Chains A and B, each alone.
Chain A
Amino acid sequence: MAYVPASLSKPRPGAGQRLAARLTSRAVLAPIAAVIVFLLLWEALVWLNGWPDYVMASPSDLPPAYAQYWTLFLVMGWQTLWRTVVGLIVAVIFGVLVGMVMGFSRTMRDALYPLLVGFNAIPKATVVPIVALLFVGQHDFNTVLIAFMISFFPIAVSVSIGLSTLEPEYRDILRSLGASQTTIFWKIALPKTLPEFFGALKVAVTLAFIGTNLMEIVSPHGRGLGALFDSGKTNSDYPLMFAVLIALAFLGIVLYYIVVALEKIFAGWAERPQG
């Protein structure tokens, strides 16, 4: 009998089977297993050391904390989430524009790099009180501003590098046909930069969360998960503080995977099959 690869001779699975296969695949099971192992180790660490709550809460302390404050988690989680996302969107728009200017013009690149690096080197925690005083009472605006300021840098740098390292042949192919700079940007420069852009966006997502929470914790306007953390600290409710941290981590993971999904849609071509 002729050789038939096993993958070809099997009947094609139905939709239900495919979903089941996806949910039990390595890509889903491996991270879940890692989280479970992490929680077990954490629980064991606290238990073995006999630490009380006020030294370090254990995972088993968290469900009661969530149960007790669960409406607060929803309201404040939403406040943190939308302000982070708005900050991120502004960072994407601004970062892409700055990246384009720097990517297309050598002069602008030379001129702006030191300024950008210097700005990025300033710890944003020091900017928080300045911003809070400058726009006093504008809580939403302040929080979005810090989230934006902390997260636009990697986007600007990646877009500028992507555009400035475009091979000249790519440009020549279109220029020789009489294409305008705008056409070259939309047809070649932009799509070619997308993989770098999404790489930077993954970094920016987590940075934006840090920015939002910095403002929420430092500036006392009582909104967002940062404020909930702060109230946990004031009331010595240690399990609540840890519960906030885990909620933040969860939101971060969700946003990260949204970016990964967008990357698959818009820059999936850059992923090469392994093996």
Chain B
Amino acid sequence: MTNLIEIKGVRHAYRTADGPLPVLDGLELAVPEGGFVAVVGPSGCGKSTLTKLVAGLLRPDEGEVWLHGERVTSPRSTVGMAFQNPVMLEWRTILQNVVLPLEIVPNKMTKAQRQERARYLLELVGLAGFEDKRPSELSGGMRQRASLCRALVHSPEVLILDEPFGALDAFTREDLWQIMHQVKEKEPFTGVLITHDLRESIFLADEVVVLSGRPARTQYTLDVSLPGPRSIDQLFTTEAGEMLHDLRHQIEIAQGRAPADAAG
């Protein structure tokens, strides 16, 4: 299998009033086509910078970002993004919000076809019947589901999720995890998930990458060996418990609270 996303030796620093602030220092990441990688790490370690690099919104100071065998130097429409803030346009209906990327990305779809595609996705995430509502009439979880549809509507090769479920309550979050699996089955994509929820990372991803504290480099990689199809119950198995424990330990190393062991 070829790697759809490849990040090689990326270094990046933000220019601040107090001089350069290095955030990434030797980041390595490879995601195979159809793969789903979760990136976890201490807060402020540069996880969101990583998403901007993959989306082409930011060019690294050093190193390379490759997408589908092409070097990323500017934004490209084969990427879909969803953030912690659902970023709904309040003046548009839910349907119009989901259609938005199709109005920008070059395509030959008619207006009716665009709306049909949006309706199909909204139904997939359980939002059928809410097409003509305004974002302010929906709950946080529903807005996030709509935001997911918008990220997927133009059938991107890569879906970048930057803590999309971070602001939701625990049960709504678990609902959305399951919806993510259903969506991926119907609408295959290659995913990068930024999160600080370890349970979320092993439930959704097939590989979890732990970043070190700032400036971040790739510290640890875990293959998630949960047999599919996944259910919330699997999070309570011994295997899952061991993986979570392992990841927790790595986070502590990243935070500088535990010494890096030779075996890790």
Which residue from chain B places its CB closest to the CB of A267 in the assembled complex?
Answer: B91
Q: Given contacts A178-B75, A178-B105, A272-B136, are A173 and B81 in contact (CB under 8 A)? A: yes
Task: Tell me if A169 and B87 are in contact (CB < 8 A).
Answer: yes
Which residue from chain A places its CB closest to the CB of B102 in the assembled complex?
Answer: A177
Select A191's contact among B55, B75, B79, B91, beta carbons within 8 Å.
B91
Q: How many angstroms from the CA of A154 to the CA of B231 in the assembled complex? A: 56
| B56 part of interface (Cβ distance < 8 Å) | yes
| B115 part of interface (Cβ distance < 8 Å) | no
The 0/1 profile, CB within 8 Å of A marked 1, for residues 70-84 of chain B is: 000011110101010
Please name all residues of chain B whose beta carbon is closer than 8 Å to the beta carbon of A233 when the two chains form the complex. none
Which residue from chain B places its CB closest to the CB of A268 in the assembled complex?
Answer: B91
Q: How many angstroms from the CA of A177 to the CA of B105 in the assembled complex? A: 6
Task: Tell me if A167 and B87 are in contact (CB < 8 A).
Answer: yes
Please name all residues of chain A whose beta carbon is closer than 8 Å to the beta carbon of B55 when the two chains form the complex. 172, 176
Task: Tell me if B101 and A177 are in contact (CB < 8 A).
Answer: yes
Please name all residues of chain A whose beta carbon is closer than 8 Å to the beta carbon of B112 when the two chains form the complex. none
The 0/1 profile, CB within 8 Å of B marked 1, for residues 160-175 of chain A is: 0000000101101111
Please name all residues of chain A whose beta carbon is closer than 8 Å to the beta carbon of B128 when the two chains form the complex. none
The number of residue pairs between A and B whose CB atoms lie closer than 8 Å in the complex comes to 61
Select B56's contact among A176, A194, A272, beta carbons within 8 Å.
A176
Q: Given contacts A169-B83, A175-B57, are A269 and B75 in contact (CB under 8 A)? A: no
- Residue with the highest number of chain B CB atoms closer than 10 Å, among A167, A176, A267: A176
- Shortest C-beta distance, B182 to chain A (Å), equals 24
Q: How many angstroms from the CA of A179 to the CA of B89 in the assembled complex? A: 16
Q: How many angstroms from the CA of A191 to the CA of B104 in the assembled complex? A: 17
| A133 part of interface (Cβ distance < 8 Å) | no
- Residue with the highest number of chain A CB atoms closer than 10 Å, among B76, B104, B134: B104
Q: Given contacts A176-B56, A177-B105, A272-B136, are A187 and B100 in contact (CB under 8 A)? A: yes
- Shortest C-beta distance, A156 to chain B (Å), equals 22
Please name all residues of chain B whose beta carbon is closer than 8 Å to the beta carbon of A169 when the two chains form the complex. 83, 85, 87
Task: Tell me if B91 and A269 are in contact (CB < 8 A).
Answer: yes
Which residue from chain B places its CB closest to the CB of A191 in the assembled complex?
Answer: B91
Please name all residues of chain A whose beta carbon is closer than 8 Å to the beta carbon of B87 when the two chains form the complex. 167, 169-170, 173
Tell me the A residues contacting B by CB distance below 8 Å. 167, 169-170, 172-179, 183, 187-188, 191-192, 194, 267, 269-270, 272
New contact pairs (9) apart from A176-B55, A177-B77, A178-B105, CB-CB < 8 Å: A169-B85, A170-B89, A172-B52, A176-B79, A177-B101, A177-B105, A187-B103, A192-B90, A272-B136
